[in-house]
Amino acid sequence: MSAASDFQAFAQRVSGAVEVAKAAAFSQPYLTATGFMVAAYLTYSYLAYARLKHFPGPKLAGWTRIPLILWHMGGRVHLKFQEISETYGPIAVIAPGVLLTSDPELMRRMAAPKSRYKRNVWYMAFRFNPDKDHIGCERDNEAHSQMKFKLAPGYSGREIVDLEDKIDANIAALIKLVEDSYLSAPTETKAFDLAQKVQYFTADTIGDVAFGKPIGFLQTDSDMYDYLKTSAEGFPFFTMLSLFPWLMNILALDIVKKYMPSAKDTVGMGRIMGLAQETVEKRYPPKGGEPHQDMLASWIRHGLTKEEAKSETVLQILAGAETAATAIRMILFHVYSNPCVLSRLRVEIRDARPSSPITNAEASRMPYLQAVIKEAIRICPPITGDILKDVPPEGDTYNGQFLPGGTVIGYSMVAMLRDKKTFGEDAATFRPERFLPEGASEDELHKRDAVVEGAFAFGRWRCLGRNIAQLEMNKVIPEIIRKFDLSLVYPTEPFKNYSAGIQIQWDMWMRATRISDGGLSH
């Protein structure tokens, strides 16, 4: 047979296969199944749209989740949510069956002790162990309350006798690192990534407070086990996963678990999990005359099981260190970017004559320092995720609007914290005076303080790590200001930021010089 005949025969076989495929594709059973799926999807979309059609929102958002997915993929979803809230009001549709609110009173209502709102399946994406809940993803209100009861005494710091000493030691390690390796001179610049060094500090501090010793980031001046790198990659994954709750069932399969971070890993998030779990294993069962006075010891005394403790220590490091680092970075960035703020803060520190290192009590009595901390958190809250809750089955009526049962409602955190009605016409501007009597009435100050507290969530879902983070901010900010002048190496692009439920920040390159008299001479 000739080559032409071979090709002709081959073409006939291909043609025949195509005809068979076309016949199958357009057969009655196939068309029936396809039509059923299309009809089911359109019906679902219409019903989801119809339930919330009395709420405004962006075009298509009430019909499909595609806009929400695209907003998240851009890494600036917190700013998109702010835009939506400012355009459509305090309650708007952002996806089929999903609302967005920037109203702090509605957020408080949802988080009230007797509220029947509950956490949405969105939280399940942030399980570090697909088989085990931690306080950050527990959806059952009663189980969450019971867990909180066991954890709260440790998080409060009251049962950690040397809590401030631990934080002081890690501040000293941070100061020493900058002094030994990154001080610039008139003839040279030793640039360093402040975003990275701050996270070394918060991760080491959390490790020290939680289970008795720093992890070692500051000592080695390195991203140990590629932790920062892998966590920066991991959080966007978890955030995208939260948009597809059905995928969480797949992650629970044994065949998939082996590809997830594991305590057996030698690098990344898995290695940090391993370090935490190794510490927990050594402390269970608890021994009489327990010498430890750290957070883990408090949890043990209050009845936390070994498996619960493993999950909670991992949560502390992975989430707590990142959020505290964001707050500290933003305070330092705004202080050193505003000469008037820096000058006034240094005068306050000088006049207060605090101890060295400064105590939490001393820092708490400095009104301008506290105003600076609040303003930085307001401008750039560490937590930016959807934070979705489920409306109770019977629904709820708020401000005359009915929220149907089963509706999902999330938070527009940035919109809440930059609301002009609460914070003034210059709400987008960094101005700490708005939290001082000179800048607002007593009623306005009370309202502003109450709203900023929402940056760490309200009521039953208030972040337990808030107290530890406040201690870190109160102590590390004055110490850095006493020691160094910092300036941005690249002021036109001061740092990079990606919103993935929390703020991921990097490349905050700084130049540091020493202040010989601490900048506090009379």
Show the tokens assigned to 33.
């199944």
Query: What is the mean predicted confidence (pLDDT) over 449-462?
Result: 95
Does the pLDDT at position 375 exceed 50?
yes
Which pLDDT value is given to residue 95? 94
Does the pLDDT at position 178 exceed 90?
yes
Does the pLDDT at position 17 exceed 50?
no
Which pLDDT value is given to residue 362? 98
User: How far from the centroid of its chain's Cα atoms is residue 449's Cα?
Assistant: 20
> b/e for 97-110, b at 16 or more Cβ within 10 A?
bbbbbbbbebbbeb
For 156-160, 366-370, 414-418, 468-472, which range has the lowest pLDDT when averaged over its residues? 156-160
Bigger pLDDT: 366 vs 254: 366
Which pLDDT value is given to residue 12? 56
Domain boundaries, the chain: 52-514
Fold of 52-514: Cytochrome p450 (1.10.630)
Bigger pLDDT: 423 vs 9: 423
Which pLDDT value is given to residue 33? 65
pLDDT tens per residue across span 57-70 = 998 999 999 999 99
Report yes or no: 97 and 52 within 8 Å, Cβ to Cβ: yes
Is 463 annotated among the ligand-binding residues? Answer: yes
Does the pLDDT at position 503 exceed 70?
yes
pLDDT tens per residue across span 392-439 = 999 999 999 999 999 999 999 999 999 999 999 999 999 999 999 999
pLDDT tens per residue across span 309-327 = 988 988 888 888 999 999 9
Which pLDDT value is given to residue 129? 74
Looking only at the bridges linking them, the beta strands covering 509-514 and 98-101 are unpaired
What are the backbone dihedrals phi and psi of residue 390, each rounded to the nearest 5 degrees, phi first? -100, 130
DSSP readout, 41-52? HHHHHHHHHHHT
Does the pLDDT at position 176 exceed 70?
yes
Question: Angle formed by the axes of helices 367-379 and 321-337, to 10°?
Answer: 110
> b/e for 293-314, b at 16 or more Cβ within 10 A?
ebbbbbbbeeebeeebbbbbbb
Which pLDDT value is given to residue 4? 47
Which pLDDT value is given to residue 62? 92
Strand partners of residue 506 = 496
Show the tokens assigned to 444.
């306005």
What are the backbone dihedrals phi and psi of residue 101, each rounded to the nearest 5 degrees, phi first? -125, 145
Which pLDDT value is given to residue 66? 92
- Provide the Cα torsion 478, 484, 489, 494; round to 10°: 0
DSSP 187: T
Read off the pLDDT band of 10 (50, 70, 90): very low
DSSP readout, 356-399? SSPPHHHHHT-HHHHHHHHHHHHHS-SB-S---EEPPTT-EEET
Report yes or no: 309 and 300 within 8 Å, Cβ to Cβ: yes
Average pLDDT across the chain, whole number = 89
Which pLDDT value is given to residue 521? 44
Does the pLDDT at position 31 exceed 70?
no
Does the pLDDT at position 14 exceed 80?
no
Which pLDDT value is given to residue 246? 73
What's the predicted TM-score (pTM) here?
A: 0.90
Q: Amino acid identity, residue 434? A: R
What are the backbone dihedrals phi and psi of residue 335, each rounded to the nearest 5 degrees, phi first? -65, -50
Read off the pLDDT band of 182 (50, 70, 90): very high
Read off the pLDDT band of 272 (50, 70, 90): confident
Does the pLDDT at position 21 exceed 60?
no
Read off the pLDDT band of 9 (50, 70, 90): low
Helix (H, G, I), strand (E, B) or coil at 248: helix
pLDDT tens per residue across span 138-147 = 999 999 999 9
Which pLDDT value is given to residue 100? 98
Bigger pLDDT: 256 vs 102: 102
CA separation for the pair 293, 284 (Å, rounded): 15
What are the backbone dihedrals phi and psi of residue 233, each rounded to the nearest 5 degrees, phi first? -80, -30
Which pLDDT value is given to residue 516? 66
Highest mean pLDDT among 237-251, 267-281, 446-460: 446-460
Does the pLDDT at position 54 exceed 50?
yes
Q: Which long-range contacts (CB under 8 A, 24 or more apart) does 124-127 make?
A: 124/242, 124/245, 124/248, 125/238, 125/239, 125/241, 125/242, 125/245, 125/248, 126/238, 126/242, 126/319, 126/501, 127/248
